[in-house]
């Protein structure tokens, strides 16, 4: 077991029930509801309830909103450090080159072919290596290219959120944010994924201590944000982070509803 994998699993164990900042009591449930209400009014087209994963390529926007768990994982990896448009283009190219969800072909292909297919999404060398390594690890562990057991809904087969997180982060290249996105968008669990937008806005709102990094911020916020708000608040904070000029740059003259709320 790699030291990095051990560290990820230890973090997951440490903060399943207790925040890394146990005396930091923000956000309160009412604060989380207030911000959800403000952002839902500001971004009405993004305030919809949780969408069921759709099995059509048109639905995939890089967040993993598809029913196949491995596909959701690949989409989320492709979405890292790039725009939704670029990651969506990279996924489309990957599907065209290898066939949609032909994981065996992707795993067996020369690395250069995978790099070439996903080049549009940026960091193609790193992401291609991550995707191929994960696919090979899944095959080695389960004997097939499938993680659908993580999405089982029957009572006797349904896994806990913690068990799903542990399996996902056990693969090299899958961190807590990527795993949380798969839980939230693909598997339909209440998990609060903290990406760059959510992290920046959470710091601005004073929802996490200054010393928190993104991993610890996610561990804290996942325990503080009420379950029924996790999906909507994540979607709205990401949208606000992308769209609002008023809280993006210091000294910007543009207005921001969150800054107005804080005054």
Query: Which whole number is the average pLDDT over 60-78?
Result: 84
166 included as an active-site residue:
no
DSSP states along the chain: --HHHHHHHHHHHHTSSS-SSTT---S-HHHHHHHHHHHHHH-GGG-PPPPPP-SSGGG--SS--SS-HHHHHHHHHHTTTS-HHHHHHHHHHHHHHH-TT-HHHHHHS-HHHHHHHTGGGS-HHHHHHHHHHHHHHHHHHHSSS--GGGG--STTTPPPHHHHHHHHHTSTT--HHHHHHIIIIII--------HHHHHHHHHHT-S-TT--HHHHHHHHHHHS-HHHHHHHHHHHHHHHHH-STTTSTT--S--HHHHHH-
pLDDT of 100-144, one tens digit each?
A: 999 999 999 999 999 999 999 999 999 999 999 999 999 999 999
Mean pLDDT of the chain: 92
> What pLDDT band is residue 218 in, cutting at 50, 70 and 90?
very high
Query: How distant is the alpha carbon of residue 222 from its chain centre?
Result: 13
Is the pLDDT at 57 greater than 80, yes or no? no
Is the pLDDT at 48 greater than 90, yes or no? no
* pTM as predicted: 0.91
Select which of 91, 127, 177, 230 is catalytic.
177
Query: Which whole number is the average pLDDT over 136-163?
Result: 96
> What pLDDT band is residue 55 in, cutting at 50, 70 and 90?
low
Closest CA to 38 of 202, 240, 251: 240
């Amino acid at each position: 077991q790699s030291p990095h994998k051990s560290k990820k699993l230890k973090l997951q164990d440490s903060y399943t029930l207790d925040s890394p900042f146990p005396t930091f009591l923000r956000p309160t449930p009412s604060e989380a509801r207030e911000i959800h209400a403000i952002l839902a009014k500001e971004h009405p087209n993004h305030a919809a309830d949780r969408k069921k994963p759709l099995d059509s390529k048109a639905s995939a926007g890089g967040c993993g909103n598809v029913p196949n768990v491995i596909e959701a994982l690949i989409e989320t990896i492709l979405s890292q450090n790039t725009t939704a448009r670029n990651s969506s283009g990279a996924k489309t190219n990957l599907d065209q080159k290898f066939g949609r969800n032909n994981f065996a072909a992707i795993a067996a292909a020369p690395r250069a072919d995978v790099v070439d297919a996903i080049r549009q999404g940026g960091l193609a060398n790193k992401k291609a290596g991550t995707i191929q390594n994960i696919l090979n690890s899944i095959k080695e562990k389960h004997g097939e290219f499938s993680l659908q057991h993580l999405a089982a809904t029957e009572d006797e087969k349904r896994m806990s959120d913690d068990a799903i997180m542990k399996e996902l982060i056990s693969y090299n290249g899958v961190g807590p944010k990527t795993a949380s996105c798969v839980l939230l968008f693909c598997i339909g669990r209440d998990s609060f994924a903290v990406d760059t937008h959510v992290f920046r806005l959470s710091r601005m709102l004073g929802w996490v201590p200054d010393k928190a990094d993104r991993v610890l911020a996610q561990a804290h916020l996942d325990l503080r944000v009420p379950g029924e708000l996790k999906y909507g608040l994540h979607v709205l904070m990401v949208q606000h982070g992308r769209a609002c000029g008023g809280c993006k740059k210091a000294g910007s003259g543009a207005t921001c509803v969150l800054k107005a709320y804080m005054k």
